[in-house]
Amino acid sequence: MGSGKNGTFDIMPDFNQWAIMVFFDTDQYPEADIKTLVGKFIIGWWRFFKADTRYFLLEPYAGHGTWDGQSFVDPKNKIADPEGKIAVLTRATIRLSRLLHFWKAVPKTADQLEANKGFVYSIGIGEIPFIKQATFSVWESIEDMKAFAYKKMAHQDVIRRTRKESWYSEEMFLRFKILRENEAL
């Protein structure tokens, strides 16, 4: 997937930054490593271009919504928030009639992200530019993420408007336990 600049999605993509997301069943790949999951071609590509990589092995534990009709957690299966760092993926398909409203609202929230206590990392990604957007972020704790998501006025305003004005035809919000990160390739 392509990605935006400055840790969020942007009208102008960052061609030096890309994202690959691989979803797999641990029953099929109990000892899965990054090389097995992305394959020799991608690993070779990264090496050829001397790419810096950032790797996260995650386990979804809470969330709602769908990505192309697929759900990744059972909302009835309540699992306690993990201690320590967590990762979050928010993803939406934006209605064509709401694109302008969405893109006008992005800077208000994005500008506040890095200034938040406990913020570690984020990247804006999308499989279809301008329409299917996602933000992947890492936080020191669930409390830090919730303080940004539910207590910052700009973010609250965007959440309220997305529902009231029906910006999305599909949306998903997932929280992950971080099992491993920054594994060397």
Q: Please tell me the pTM assigned to this model.
A: 0.85
Query: Domain range spanning residue 111?
Result: 2-181
Residues 144-173: tens digit of each pLDDT: 999 888 887 777 888 888 899 999 999 999
The one-letter amino acid at 28: Q
CATH of the domain at 134: 3.30.70.100
Identify residue 113 by its one-letter amino acid code.
Answer: L
Q: How many of the other CB atoms lie within 10 Å of CB of 98?
A: 16
User: Would you tell me how many other CB atoms lie within 10 Å of the CB of residue 178?
Assistant: 17
pLDDT tens-digit profile of 114-152? 778 999 988 888 888 788 888 899 999 999 999 888 887
| Mean pLDDT score, 85-90 | 94
In this predicted structure, the answer to whether residue 3 has a pLDDT above a threshold of 90 is no
| Percentage of residues in the chain having pLDDT higher than 90 | 25
> What distances in angstroms separate CA 183 from CA 16, 166, 175, one per listed residue?
20, 40, 20
Q: Which two tokens stand for residue 150?
A: 């539910």
> How many separate domains does the chain show?
1
pLDDT of residue 67 exceeding 80, the answer is yes
Task: Place 113 in a pLDDT band, splitting at 50, 70 and 90.
Answer: confident
State pLDDT tens for residues 43-65: 888 888 877 778 888 889 999 99
Cβ–Cβ < 8 Å for 172, 63? yes
